[in-house]
């Protein structure tokens, strides 16, 4: 059960970071309203706060989070940008998640 809580927290953290970066992108690249910077800043603040809720040491959390972030980013690419990830994208996600599992579930020293 703890694993599912941590995974859900990783996913929420990734979404907060992606939204916080996507909204300024819309303003800068798509000519949308600069008011998008307000929810972007709130989303990035939520991202930082969510990182503090993880039970592991910060370095391990960041390393493990990276695998989930990459996965969520590709899902965002597909769902929001309507760009279907390639086979190599999915292979890369698998490798990243395998690396994340080694880091998060591996043995601990000291």
14-30 confidence digits (pLDDT tens): 999 999 999 999 999 99
Cβ within 8 Å of residue 86, ≥6 positions away: none
Segment 35-58 mean pLDDT: 89
Average pLDDT over the chain, rounded to an integer: 89
Taking the C-alpha atoms of residue 82 and residue 78, their distance in angstroms, rounded to an integer, is 5
Q: Write down the pLDDT at residue 54.
A: 77
Taking the C-alpha atoms of residue 74 and residue 89, their distance in angstroms, rounded to an integer, is 8
Taking the C-alpha atoms of residue 3 and residue 1, their distance in angstroms, rounded to an integer, is 5
25-84-87-12 Cα dihedral, nearest 10 degrees: 60
């Amino acid at each position: 059960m703890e694993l599912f809580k941590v995974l859900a927290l990783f996913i929420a953290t990734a979404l907060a970071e992606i939204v916080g970066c996507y909204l300024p992108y819309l303003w800068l690249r798509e000519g949308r309203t600069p008011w998008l910077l307000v929810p972007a800043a709130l989303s990035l603040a939520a991202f930082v706060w969510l990182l503090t809720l993880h039970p592991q040491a910060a370095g391990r959390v960041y390393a493990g989070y990276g695998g989930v972030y990459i996965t969520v980013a590709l899902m965002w690419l597909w769902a929001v940008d309507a760009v279907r990830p390639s086979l190599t994208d999915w292979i890369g996600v698998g490798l990243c998640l395998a690396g994340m599992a080694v880091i998060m579930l591996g043995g601990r020293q000291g």
